[in-house]
Amino acid sequence: MNEIFRTTIIQISIWVAVAGVILALIRGLIGPTPADRVVAIDSMTTVATVIIALFAHLFKRFIYLDVALVFGLLAFITVLIIARCLERRMI
C-alpha cells in the first residue's frame, strides 16, 4: 500500500514536470527573439535535472544521481556560451 502510494506520487510529479518541459518547448519554438528561446532552454535544463533525480528515486538507485549532478552543473555552460555570443561580440 505504502509503496503504491509512493510510486503514484512520484509518477504524478514526473508527469507534471514533463508538462512543464512541453510548455517551455512551445515558447522555445515560437519565441520571436533568440533571447526568448535561451530563457526557455534555461528553465528546461533545470526541469530536466529534477526529472532525472525523480527517475533515480523511482528506480531506487542512489548512483544514478551522478547524472543529475553532471547535468545540473554543465547545462549552465550552454546557456552562458549562447548568452555571451548574443551580445554581438564573440565570446
Cell of 55: 527517475
Q: Does 39 bind other proteins (CB under 8 A)?
A: yes
Hunting for cell 548512483 — which residue is that?
63
Tell me, rounded to whole angstroms, the distance of Cα 30 from its chain centroid.
Answer: 19
Q: Closest distance between other proteins and the C-beta of residue 16, in Å?
A: 4
Q: Closest distance between other proteins and the C-beta of residue 72, in Å?
A: 5
Q: Closest distance between other proteins and the C-beta of residue 2, in Å?
A: 8
Q: Does 4 bind other proteins (CB under 8 A)?
A: no
Give the sign of the dihedral formed by CA 26, CA 44, CA 67, CA 85. Answer: positive
Residues 48-77 that bind other proteins (CB under 8 A): 48-55, 57-59, 62-77
Q: Does 1 bind other proteins (CB under 8 A)?
A: no
Tell me the three state secondary structure of residue 48.
Answer: helix
